[in-house]
Structure 1
Amino acid sequence: MPALNHPRPHTETLANGLRVTLRHAPDLKRSAAALRVAAGSHDVPLAWPGLAHFIEHLLFLGTERFPSGQGLMAYVQGHGGQVNARTSERTTDFFFELPPQTLAGGLERLSDMLAHPRMNLDDQLREREVLQAEFVAWSQDAAAQQQLALFNGLAAAHPLRAFHAGNRDSLPVPQPEFQQALKDFYQRFYQTGQMTLSLAGPQTIDELRTMAEAFSAAIAIAEKAPQAIPTALMDSSDNSYQQVSESRLDLLFTFEALPESSPEALAFLCHWLNAAKPGGLLDKLQKRGLAGSLKAAPLYQFAGQTLLHIEFKLLANATPAAIREQLMDWLEFFAAQQNWSGLREEYAALLQRQQQVSGALQLAQRDTEQLGTELSEQGVAALKDILKQIGAVDNFSGEWQLPAPNPFLRSEAPAANAGLIRGQTSAHRGLRTFAQDRSRGRRERSSMQFSTALPGNTDEGAIYLRWRLDSAPDSRLQSSLENHLQPLREDARQAGVDFSFSAAGNEWLLKMTGLQEPMPTVLEHALTALTKIDADFPQTEPKSPALIPIRQLLKVLPERCLENSAVSADLPQLWSNAGWDGLAIGLSAQTQAAMGVALSRIPGVADNQLTPPPSINSQHVWNTVDTGSSEHALLLFCPTATQEISDEAEWRLLAHLIQTPFYQRLRVELQLGYAVFSGLRQINGQTGLLFGVQSPSVAAADLLEHIQHFLNELGDLIQGLDDATYLAQRQALADQFDNHALPNVQAAELLWQAKLAGHSSDYLTQLPEAILKIDRQVLLAAAQRLNNAEGGWRGLASEACPGAPWQGAK
C-alpha cells in the first residue's frame, strides 16, 4: 500500500484567534473547507428554541455583496461542488468542496455571509415558514420521533430533553425581544474565538494559510465565549436505562467527567461492538435467537458527558434481560484484553485505509473533529474508564473470541506475470487486458471492458458488473442477498473498497469503487457469496427505516425507468439465464491480472449486446407511489430525445443554468416546500433533467404546474444572460469534466453511464468539447425541445395521475 501523504494536518491559531487545520494532500483533485462554530441548539436562551438553527438558515439568504444568486450555494453548485450546513447540540458546521482553483472564491463568500448577514424581517418571516415546514415533517416522521424518545430516561432538566427544532410558535420574528436575542446570539458566537476552520486540498500549506487569513479578515475578533456546562445526565445514581418495543431494545449508558480522549475511545469500543464476526456478541445473539442486528454509537458528547446508545433488533426468543446479560459478559471479556494491542493494530490499519480513500471534504471534516488515525495511550486510559463506569470487570463466563482479522487489510503479493489473467480459459477469451489486446474496436466489444480513460497508476479504481435477467428478482430475495453481503461489505469498506449490489427492474448491478489493490479479492468473495446463498430466504421483507416521501420517490425512480417484467424468486434460474457485461476503470496491469480468478466465476453468460433501456419519447408517463405520508412529493424526470452526446451536453448546460433560479423561485420566493432541487441525472444510461419538490400543503398537480411555468420561461432566462455571463457559465461547466479536477469516483460513474448509452471510450474528452460548442441559439432550441417533451416526461408523485396529457404507467 502506498505511503500516505502527510497523515496529520498542520494546526495553528492565527493572530486573530481563529483556529485552523491545514492539510496538504497533493493527490486530491478537489479542495474543501469545513468551518465549525462552537455554538449550537443547547446554547440558545430557553425562551427561543430553534434560534441557532434559524440563524444557520438566515446566513444562506445572501448579502449585499453576494446576493442569493451569487452567494456560496450558487457558487459551489455552479462549479460542480457540494455545500451544506448542520446545527447540532453544541456546534454549527458549514462545509463545502470545490475544484482547487475556486476554493478562494468559496471562502470569500462563506466569510462574507458570516460577517455581513442580511437579516431583514421579510427574509426572516419567509425563512421561518421553511423551518415550520421542516418541523411539520419532523413531527410526522416516526424515525425522528423514535430518536427523540431515546432521551426520555434522562434528567428532565438536561437540554437533551428540551425542544430545539424551531417552528412558527418558538420563533416570534416581529417581537423586539426575539430580535435582540437573535442579535446577541450572533454577536456572541459568530466570531473568531468560536471558530475552527479546516482546509484540505492539493495546495501547499502556505497557500492554504493565506486563504485562511483572508477568510478571517472580515470576521469579528473576540475571545472564545464559554459554553454553559449542562446539568447531570441522570437524576439518580443510575448510569443506564432501557426502552423496549415489540421489535427493538434500546440500551443507553450515561457517562460523566470523561477525559478529553474519550471520543476516540468510544469510537474504538463501538467499532468492535458492531463487528459481525464469529465468536463475537452479535454472532452469539443471532445463534441464540435473541437479536438480528445491533448498532452501537454515541448519541451525545460534550464537556465530559456522553450518552452511548446500543440498539438491538429483537428476534422471536428475545428477552431484554438475556440480551443485557450477554452484552455485559462480552464487555467484561473485552475489558480483560489488557491494552488491546492486536485490535489497536488492525483499527489503525483500517483508519489509515479510510484516510487514504477519503476525499477533500471528508478529510476537512475529520480534521475539524480532531480525530487521530489510531487509539492513543490516552485513549486506552479513557476506554478503561468508560468500561469501569459501565460496570464491566474482568469476570466473564462466556466463550468469546476476538474478531478475526479483516482479510482485505493485508496487502496481496504481486502477480507473477502481469500480462496474463490467472484462471482465464478458452471460454473467457473476451476478458483481456489492454496489454493483450491493442485493438480498440475489439476491446470495446468484449463483455468486460478495461477502460484506459483514467490512468491506472493511481491508488483508486472502479468495477461495474451488470446482469440482465429474464425476470425481476423478488424483493424478498433481493433483501436476502443484500443482507448476506453485509459482513463482506463492511470488511471491504474498512479496507478502502465501497461496493453495492442493487436491483432495478430486471437488472442487477454490482459496483465497486475505492482502492484498487484489494478489489480482485473483494470481487471474488462477493461473487462467491452471491451464488452460494441459502435457498431459504425470509418470506416477509424486513422493514427498512422510513424515508421521507421525496426520498422514497428517488429510491424507486431507476426501477420505473425500466420496463416491468415478471418477478421470480428462483436464484439459480435467475443466474443461469442472466446475460452480463462490465467495465473496469483505472486499474493497473497488475490489478487486471489479479482479477482473472474472479472474472472466471461471474455467473451467467457474457453478453456485450445488452439492449439500451426503453425510451418514452413524446409521452407523459405518470407513476403514483404510495409514500404513506400526508405530505405531497413530486419528481419530474425529462430525458433527452436521443443518446447523442450533443443532446446530453445541452441538457447539462440547461441543468447548470437553471439550478439556482429554480431553487430561488420555488423554495425562496414561492415557499412551496423545503425539499426543492433540480439537476441532471443519469439512470441506466439515460440522461435527463430531474426536478423535485416536497411540500406540506401544495398538491402534486399544483407543484407540477409551478415547474411547468418555470420551464416555460426558460427562453427568457437564457436570453437574459449577457454574453460574458453565458460564456463564463458554459466554461465553468466544461471545466468540471477536466480530468485533473474530476474525482475518480465521479469519473467512473460517468464512464459507466456512457457505456450504457453506447458512447465510445473517449467520452470524457468529447463531452466538454460538446459543451463548449453550444451557442445561445442552440440552447434556446434545446429548451424548446424540453418544453415539447420530445424525450418524454416521467412524473413520480404521491398522488393520482392529473389527467391529459399524462397517462398512468402500465
Structure 2
Amino acid sequence: MNAPPPLDDDAARRAGLPPGSRLQEVQLPSGLWIAAAEVPNARLQRLVAAVGVGYLDEPDDCRGLAHLLEHALFLGSTRYPEAGELAHWVGERGGRYNARTDDTVTDVHLHLPPDETDDGLARLVDMLARPRLVPESIAREVEVLDAEFRARLADPDLHRLAALGRLCREGHPARLCHAGNRKSLGDDATHLVSRLSDFHARHYRSGRMALAMLGPLPLAAQLELLARHGAALPIGDPSPLPRTWRWGEPGGVAWHSPQATPGTSALELLWPLPDELDASHSDWLSGVAARLADGRLAATLQAAVELDSFDVTLTPQGTGAALALRLAPAPDEEAVQTLLAACRTALERALVSPLATRPPAAIELDAWPRRCACRLAGSGSSSDRGNDGQAAPPKALLPWLATEQCRLLWQSPHAPGSWKRLTETGTVWQPQSLSEAELPLPWRAAPALPARTLRPSADEPDPHLLNQGVGFQLWAGDPLQLPGAPPAWFCLGWSASLAHQTARLAQWRQNALPLRQAAAANGLQLRCDGDVRGDWLIATGPAERLDALVELAVACWPETVTRPRDEAPKGLLAQRMLARLETLPPPGTPGKPNQQPLAWVYGDTDTQAAETLLRRLAASRRNDDTAHEVTAETHWLSAQADDHAVMLEIAGPDDTPQSRWLLQLLAQCHDAAFHQEMRQQRGLGYVAAVRYREAAGYPRLGYVVQSPGTGVDALRQAIGEFLAHQGEALARLDETAMANRKRALLAAAGPPETHTEALSRLWQALRRQPQADAWQPLPWEAESQALTSLHAGEITAMASAIAEGRLAQRWWLHDPSAAHP
C-alpha cells in the first residue's frame, strides 16, 4: 500500500479532530478509498462504509430500491446468514449500528470497543459484499418500509423533501418521493430480489466505495485493517453515474405539512453549487458562511421578526452542494420577503469580506468518519485537494452566488384551500414568488464583546472552592489539564422554576441567538440549557472576552415567559416519545429544593466579577419555587400522526452510578429480544426498541412500540407480557457474559473522549453535589468503580423489580383518533 504521509496536527484540527490526532486517506489499487483517524482519547472505534449511490440513482419504476437494499443488508450475509445476527452481536458488545440512504450516497456505520474492530470490519464488509437476498425476507422488509413510509407522513422532513422536488427540473428523479413503499416497490418479492441483485452488482463495487475508521488504534494498524478487509469487497470501477443538474430555474415554493403543528413555519434560502466548485473552494465558502453567521444579520432580522433560530450551512439535507440559510419562524409572506431581502444584502457583503479567521470546527467524533466516507465514496476526492486558500472571491463561483440564483423554500404556517397537493405524500404546496423589491431593514451591530486586560491568575490549577458565600458557591481550577482545552471557561447554574421550562429555555436561546453567533465569530462558544436541577450555561474561549459573554448571556435569560412555545414535531413518533426521557423529570420525583447559584471557572477569569454575578443571582432566586407537578402515571399525547404508539417509562430507584449502570445493562439485555418479539413474532409495528436515557443524571428506560394498526391497549399488554415472561430471564447472565457486558460498557462510557465532553460531565457531577466543600473524584472513575462492583444478581433483581411494578413508571400513549381519550 503506497500511502501518502498522514496529515499534520493543524490539518487534523481543521478537519474537526482533537489535538494530537493523526489522519490519513489512501486510494487502493482496487479504487477503494480508505481513511483512518487515530484519536488517542477515543473510547470507541467508529467504522463506516459508504457507497456512492443513493435514492436519486434508482430506476424510475422502482422508487425506494436503494433504501430497500440498505434494509436488506441487515437480513444476513454469506458468512453471517441469520437475520438480526448483527444486532445481537453488536448489542452484546455495547456497541451501536445504523445505516442511511441519502440522495447520492448510502452508508452503514458501527460503533464498537476497539478490540472488536477486526471482527466488526469482517461483518461490515461481508454484509456489503455478499448480502443474502431471500424473497420471503424481502417481502417482509417491504412491509416494514411501507410502515416506515406511513409513519414518516407525520414527519415534516419528508414533506420538506417533497416540496424541495418542486424546485427541480421536470423529469429529474429529484422531483419524486424516494422513501419507498408497497405501491412504489410492488409486491412481487422474486422480481424485487432480481432488481436488488442487479442494483447491488452494478453499484456496490470498490471503485464506488469507501471505508473510514476513527478510534484509539494506531494509525498504521487502522490502515492495515481497512486495506485487508477492504480487499474482500467486489472489485470494479463502475462507469460514472449519469447525474444531471437537478435544479430548475430560480424560484420559490411554499409548503405545508398536513399534520404540522399550527403556526409552525420556517424559511430556507438555497444557492446550489456545482460539486467541483464546492470542493475546490471549500475554505473560501466556509469564510462566507462564517460571515453570514457572525451575529450582525441575526441581530438585524431579530429586530424585525421574533427569530428563534438561524443556521448557515454548506451541507443542507437533500440538496447536494449548496450554501443555505434556514430561519424560523417565517410567519407570513411579508416576513418572508423581509427576510429574503435582508439575507440577499448580507450575502453580497459576505462575498466581499468573508470572515478571515473562521471559528474552529466542532469536534464531532461520531459524525467525522461518516462525513469522510461519504465524501470519498461520493466525489472520490481527498480532503487535501482543491483548497487553494485564496482570499479574493473566486470568479468561477460568484455567478452561482448571485442574489438572483436563490431558491426559496417556505414552510408556511397554514395552507389555503386553493393550494396544490402532492398525491403520494399529501404535501400541500404552492409556487412562491421572490420579490425583487428592496425592503431595507435598519442594520444592527452584532452584540459587542469587549476585551478586558488580562491579569494572570494566581490560582492553583487543582480544583478548589474560592468562596462559599451566603447562598452561592464559586469553584476554580482544572482537574484534567487536557491538551487542546480552551484557554478559559465559565460554568454557571441557578435554580429556576420547572413550570414552563421548555418555553423559557426556548425564549432564552432566542434572546441569545445573535450573542451565540457573535461569540463563535470571536472564537468563543456558549451553551444555554436547563434540567430538573435548574438552568445553566457553559461558556468557553479566550478569557479576555469570556466575562462579557457570560454577563450578556445572563441578561438574555427571561425571568418570565412571554409566549408559550410548542416545538414542531420532528422524526418518528417513537423518537419524539423517547426524547421526553431526556427533558422531563422521571416519574415519582418530588419537587427539588432550591439550589444555590453555582459557578466553576478556569483560566484568567475575573473571579471578582464572577462573585458579583453569583451574589446577584442568589438575591434574585432566593424565593424561586422549583417544585413541579408530578405527571400522572398515564400520559396521553395529543394526536400528532396516524400511528398508534406506546412507551413504558421506567425510572431508576435513584440517580447513583449503580442505578445508571443497571438500567444500561438491562437495556442491552432486553433490546434485541424486545425488537424480535414485537416486530417479528407479533408483527405489531415498524418501531420496537428499548432505550436508556438520562435527564440531569436521573436514569430511566423506555420500552416503545409504534404501530400503524394495533391499538394502544394491545400494545400496552404486549409490553407488559414481555416484561412478565422474559424480563427476568433475559437478565440472567453468567460470569463470562457479565464480564463481556461490563467491558463493553466501560468502552462506551469510560473517560471522556474530548474536552467538551469532559467539561460537561464534570460540571454535571458538580451540580449533583451542591453542598460539597471539596472537589469530588472524577465522575468516570467513580462510575468505573461502581460498574466493577456490580454482580449479575443485581441485574436480575432490577429486572424483577420492573416486572413486578416496584419501580416508578409512567405510560405514554398516542391514539390518532383522539387527543385525550
TM-score by length of 2: 0.77
- Alpha-carbon distance in 2 for matches of 1:380, 1:102: 46
1:553 partner amino acid: M
Deviation track 1:677-721 (CA, whole Å, cap 9, x = no partner) reads: 3233222432232322322222333223222222221332244x5
Residue pair 2:309, 2:510 contacting (<8 A) in 1 also: no
Instruction: Give the equivalent residue in structure 1 for 2:433.
Output: none
1:240 equivalent in alignment to 2:251: yes
What CA RMSD, in Å, does the superposition of the two structures yield over aligned residues? 4.8
In the alignment, is residue 781 of structure 1 matched against residue 807 of structure 2?
no
Q: Give the alignment of 1:331-346 within 5 angstroms.
A: 331-335=347-351, 337=352, 340=353, 343-346=354-357
Please state how far the C-alpha of 1:99 moved relative to its aligned partner.
4.1
- SS of residue in 2 equivalent to 1:213: helix
- Report the number of matched residues: 747
Partners of 1:419 and 1:108 in 2: CA distance: 52
SS in 2 for 1:604: helix
Contact 2:292-2:350 within 8 A present in 1 as well: no
- Going from structure 1 to structure 2, the CA distance change for 1:462 and 1:312 (only over 3 Å counts) comes to closer
Aligned to 1:805: none
Residue 674, structure 1, aligned to residue 701, structure 2: no
1:717 to 719, 724, 730: 730
| Residue of 510, 513, 525 corresponding to 2:536 | 510
> 2-side partners of 1:446 and 1:680: how far apart?
33
Secondary structure of residue in 2 paired with 1:318 = helix
**Corresponding residue for 1:423?**
none
1:303–1:260 distance in 2 versus 1, CA, 3 Å: farther
Q: Please state if 1:277 is matched with 2:295.
A: yes
Taking a change above 3 Å as real, the CA distance of residues 390 and 76 of structure 1, as seen in their structure-2 partners, is farther
Q: Secondary structure at the match of 1:688?
A: strand
1:359 matched to 2:369? The reply is: no
Determine helix, strand or coil for the equivalent of 2:640. coil
Aligned to 1:530: 554
Q: How does 1:392-471 map to 2 (within 5 A)?
A: 415-419=455-459, 434=462, 447-448=473-474, 454-455=480-481, 459=485, 465-469=492-496
Aligned-pair CA distance for 1:227: 0.8
Query: Residues of 2 paired with 1:562 and 1:583: CA distance?
Result: 29
Residue of structure 1 equivalent to 2:70: 56
**1:481 match:** 508
Residue from 24, 28, 31 that aligns with 1:10 = 24
Deviations 1:175-224 (A, max 9, x none): 44322111010111112111022223343332221011122122111113
Alpha carbons 2:162, 2:177 under 8 Å: kept: no
Listed as ranges, the gaps of 5+ residues in structure 1 are 421-432, 567-576, 803-807
1:225 to 227, 239, 244: 239
Aligned to 2:603, the other structure's residue is in SS state helix
Name stretches of at least 5 consecutive residues in structure 2 with no aligned partner: 1-7, 16-22, 257-262, 376-381, 407-436
| Distance in 1, Cα, partners of 2:220 & 2:551 | 48
State the alpha-carbon separation in 1 of the partners of residues 231 and 696 from structure 2.
48
Aligned residue for 1:119, secondary structure, equals coil
Q: Do the aligned partners of residues 248 and 486 (structure 1) sit closer, same or farther apart at CA in structure 2, a change above 3 Å counting?
A: closer
- Match in the other structure for 1:123: 137
Distance 2:694 2:307 in 1: 39
Give the Cα–Cα distance (whole angstroms) in 2 for the partners of residues 583 and 81 of structure 1.
35
Call closer, same or farther: CA 1:681–1:581 in 2, change over 3 Å: farther
44-53 vs 773-782, greater mean Cα deviation: 773-782
Matched, 1:764 2:777: no
Shift of 1:41: 0.7
Match of 1:136 in 2: 150
Q: Secondary structure at the match of 1:512?
A: strand
Q: 1:508 to 1:438 in 2, by over 3 A?
A: closer
In the TM superposition, residue 28 of structure 1 has moved relative to its aligned partner by: 4.1
* Cα distance in structure 1, aligned partners of 2:320 and 2:796: 60
Kindly report which structure 2 residues correspond to 1:559-570, keeping only aligned pairs within 5 A, or say none.
559-561=584-586
1:450-476 deviation line (CA, Å, top 9, x unaligned): 686645555169875443336735765
* Residue pair 1:640, 1:651 contacting (<8 A) in 2 also: yes
Looking at structure 2, the residues matched to 75 and 495 of structure 1 have their Cα atoms a distance apart, in angstroms, of 46
Who is 1:268 aligned against?
A: 286
Kept after mapping to 1: 8 A contact 2:527/2:538: yes
Equivalent pair of 2:49/2:107 in contact (CA under 8 Å): yes
- Contact in 2 for aligned 1:736/1:742 (Cα 8 Å): no
Alignment equivalent of 1:550, drawn from 558, 562, 574: 574
Identify the range of structure 1 (213-222 vs 113-122) with the bigger mean alpha-carbon deviation.
Answer: 113-122
- Change over 3 Å in CA distance of 1:232–1:664 after alignment to 2: closer
- Aligned partners of 2:643 and 2:530: how far apart in 1? 27
- Pairwise CA distance, 1:368: 4.4
CA distance in structure 1 between the partners assigned to 2:162 and 2:287 by the alignment: 24
TM-superposed deviation, 1:604: 2.7
Q: Give the structure-1-normalised TM-score.
A: 0.78
Would you say the 8 A contact 1:269–1:383 is kept in 2? no
Deviation, structure 1 residue 732: 2.4
2:704 is aligned with 1:692: yes
Specify which of 193, 205, 214 is matched with residue 179 of structure 1. 193
In structure 2, relative to structure 1, the CA distance for the partners of 1:61 and 1:289 (3 Å cut) is: closer
- Higher mean Cα deviation, 130-139 or 741-750? 741-750
* C-alpha separation in 2, matches of 1:455 and 1:248: 42
| SS of equivalent to 2:193 | helix
Are residues 629 and 360 of structure 1, via their aligned partners in 2, closer, same or farther at CA, if it must alter by over 3 Å?
closer
Question: Using a 3 Å threshold, how does the CA distance of structure 1 residues 745 and 255 change in structure 2: closer, same or farther?
Answer: closer
Secondary structure, aligned partner of 1:208: helix
> Whole-Å Cα distance in 1 between the matches of residues 534 and 193 of structure 2?
55
Query: What CA distance in whole angstroms lies between the structure 1 residues aligned with 2:786 and 2:623?
Result: 27
Identify the residue that residue 42 of structure 1 maps to in structure 2. 56
Deviations 1:512-559 (A, max 9, x none): 38xx54489556524433335688975464764555433443444433
Q: How does 1:484-499 map to 2 (within 5 A)?
A: 484-492=511-519, 499=526
Q: What is the CA–CA distance in structure 1 between the aligned matches of 2:449 and 2:87, rounded to whole Å?
A: 42
Question: 1:709-755, CA deviations, whole angstroms, 9 ceiling, x for partnerless residues?
Answer: 22221332244x5543333223322444443x755555555555655
Corresponding residue number in structure 2 for 1:472:
499
Could you tell me how far apart the structure 2 residues matched to 1:761 and 1:101 are? 28
Quote the offset at 1:107 in angstroms. Answer: 1.9
What code does the residue aligned with 2:473 have? S
1:33–1:199 CA contact under 8 A, matched in 2: yes
2:46 is aligned with 1:32: yes
1:109 aligns with 2:127: no
Residue 701 (1) aligns with residue 713 (2): yes
SS at 2:494 equivalent: strand
Shift in alpha-carbon separation, 1:385–1:497, aligned structure 2, 3 A: same
Q: Measure, in 2, the Cα distance between the counterparts of 1:525 and 1:742.
A: 26
After the TM superposition, which of the residue ranges 702-711 and 185-194 deviates more from structure 2? 702-711
SS of the counterpart of 1:47?
helix
